[in-house]
A = this chain, B = another copy of it.
């Protein structure tokens, strides 16, 4: 077995129980500085937290001094020694090295991650090394915490996690361009008919909600759209809760509780990383997160939203007009300028929304909801689902859909149909919102965009 190290996070959290003791730390060298006073300072990081542990190498120890030339930025080492109070400013502890094991070196001439600021564009080209940077390391920890918190949120409320399929035969009406899946060395279709990568697990989640009550998905979804923006990925993760015996109000309440609990949890558990983002990425970050917790959603209808936009006196690139989709500029005006809080826009014109949304009594609008937040815009999109068989068929016909392809979905309305509702939360949008990273390519380990699928 490889000698186990104590995580650096653990050392900083409870250093008093380790002070004066001999301990081991495994990690990677961030920097080394040699002082004229006969000491070298090695900043060691193990990924357990943002902070490095300072390792002190005395030049009185010949076996350690011998190693110094290869204890360079990037090297993977194990340091054994005594944990001491640090006389240096800004750090409570340091490790006085007795033994060092160098597992893997990193040639200073060729190792790309020398100590300096690198552009995010450059780091994307070395996506196999960028997790070793402060920013991507911190994003990874926050992303991990967000995932876990989302699972806990739903599990504690009795939701079941459903793995909806990635390969589907439905090309998901209206969701835009899709990817085709074919077996590499086969002439015929592997699955007997054309198959695609899923754009949403919602329709399949409805199957389970109408059997088990409360479910959610958390999985990858895909769009083959040729758009190169800081908000779009060809492969991204979505969370899609679906609840039986629920309407649009229940849905709004769930989305609000979820966002609030997620943000509270990250504030409670990722303070060090969030402070880093606030300092180097987005100075408004903490205020924006606290706003989510303190301010209830502003709920307005689409019709009210259009009226507010028309009367705003703002110069939009696309003037708002009833019947047209809200643009990003409109969404940001509503949440950032007008209300300065999350805004839920409900009751959109039925022509703007997919076939499965419940038609309201006015017959002009559907029980849709889009939740808008500052910086990111739409972060949640959902609806009450049309659970009345006849109305659903009517909707599908109006949208020129082939009913044959959706027999199983219609069956859910023929047998034991009940009111139900759900929404989708774009996970990378959430990561952007919580970390402040401007480009969504920094919010996912390996971004897939037009022309890019390396690593």
A110 CB within 8 Å of chain B: yes
Complex contact B164–A445 (CB within 8 A) = yes
- Name which of A141-149, A351-359, A371-379 contacts chain B: A141-149
- Indicate if A219 sits at the interface (CB-CB under 8 A): yes
Q: Quick one: CB contact mask for A199-239 with B, threshold 8 Å, 1 for yes? A: 00000100110111100000110101010000000110100
A451 within 8 Å of B by Cβ?
A: yes
Choose among B74, B162, B226, B419 the residue that contacts A415 (Cβ–Cβ < 8 A).
B74
A181 within 8 A of B: yes
Indicate whether A381 reaches chain B with its CB closer than 8 angstroms. Answer: no
Asked if residues A106 and B220 are in contact (CB atoms below 8 Å), the reply is no
Contact A26 B165 (CB under 8 A): no
Contacting residues, chain B, for A448 (C-beta < 8 A): 165, 167, 191
Within A417-439, which residues are at the interface with B (CB < 8 Å)? Answer: 417-419
Q: Report Cα–Cα, A448/B180, bound state, in Å.
A: 15
Residues of chain B within 8 A of A76, CB atoms compared: 210, 244, 416-418
Query: Apart from A140-B162, A186-B224, what 11 extra A-B contacts exist at CB < 8 Å?
Result: A103-B417, A104-B416, A106-B416, A128-B411, A129-B211, A129-B415, A167-B235, A171-B184, A179-B182, A190-B451, A219-B219
Check if B103 sits within 8 Å of A213, measured CB to CB. no
Check A414/B106 contact, CB under 8 A, given A151-B148, A213-B7: yes
User: Can you list, as one digit per residue, whether each of A105-140 has a CB less than 8 Å from chain B (1) or not (0)?
Assistant: 111001101000000000000011101100001001
- With A183-B180, A244-B26 already in contact, the answer to whether A165 and B103 are too (CB < 8 A) is no
Contact B415 A158 (CB under 8 A): no
Closest 10 A-B residue pairs measured CB to CB?
A47-B212, A104-B417, A131-B211, A76-B418, A191-B453, A76-B416, A183-B224, A128-B408, A103-B418, A144-B160
Contact B183 A181 (CB under 8 A): no
Contact residues in B for A140 (Cβ distance below 8 Å):
160, 162, 208, 211-212
- For residue A52, CB closer than 8 A to chain B, the reply is no
Residues of B within 8 A of A255 (CB): none
A interface list, Cβ under 8 A from B: 1-5, 7, 9, 26-29, 46-48, 74-76, 78, 103-107, 110-111, 113, 127-129, 131-132, 137, 140-141, 143-144, 147-148, 151, 155, 158, 160-169, 171, 177-186, 190-193, 195-197, 204, 207-208, 210-213, 219-220, 222, 224, 226, 234-235, 237, 244-247, 249-250, 253, 387, 408-409, 411-419, 444-446, 448, 450-455
**Which of A219, A246, A444, A453 has most B Cβ within 10 Å?**
A453
